[in-house]
């Protein structure tokens, strides 16, 4: 049940998070000076923390969507399975977030 709210929460966070894409691409379109400002803001460590959480929100919402596809097709609805698939969703979203950031920080 909590995870249903988390699905909504991550969705709504990303709803407003689209503004980060608009600002990034918009600044790139406008010129070097605005792009420099946005790059400096986005590189600030507290903002990077927000991006880290946003990455998790993105992956968790994605796996949540896949879970709803599985449930919608009348699979894994039994009391044990439905709890496990939720745990699996958290494990997958956390691992993928860490993997994406590991690639970003160390292998880019």
Distances (CA, A) of 38 to 17, 24, 84, 108: 15, 7, 41, 21
Q: Which is nearer to another protein, 59 or 86 (CB)?
A: 59
Site for another protein in 12-71 (CB under 8 A): 12, 14-15, 18-19, 21-22, 25-26, 28-29, 31-32, 35, 39, 42-43, 55, 58-59, 62, 65-66, 68-69
Interface size with another protein, residues (CB under 8 A): 32
**Rounded CA gap, 30 and 23, in Å?**
10
Which residue has 């993997």 as its token pair? 99
**Rounded CA gap, 62 and 6, in Å?**
12
- Phi then psi for residue 44, to 5 deg, are -65, 140
Minimum distance of another protein from residue 100's CB (angstroms): 6
Binding site for another protein (CB under 8 A): 8, 11-12, 14-15, 18-19, 21-22, 25-26, 28-29, 31-32, 35, 39, 42-43, 55, 58-59, 62, 65-66, 68-69, 72, 100, 103-104, 108
């Amino acid at each position: 049940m909590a995870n249903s709210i988390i699905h909504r929460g991550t969705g709504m966070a990303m709803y407003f998070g689209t503004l980060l894409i608009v600002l990034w691409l918009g600044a790139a379109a406008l010129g070097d000076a605005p792009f420099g400002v946005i790059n400096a803001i986005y590189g600030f460590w507290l903002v990077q923390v927000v991006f880290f959480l946003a990455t998790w929100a993105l992956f968790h919402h994605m796996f949540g969507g896949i879970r709803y596809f599985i449930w919608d097709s009348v699979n894994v609805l039994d009391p044990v399975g439905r709890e496990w698939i939720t745990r699996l969703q958290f494990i997958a979203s956390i691992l993928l977030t860490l993997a994406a950031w590991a690639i970003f920080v160390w292998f880019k």
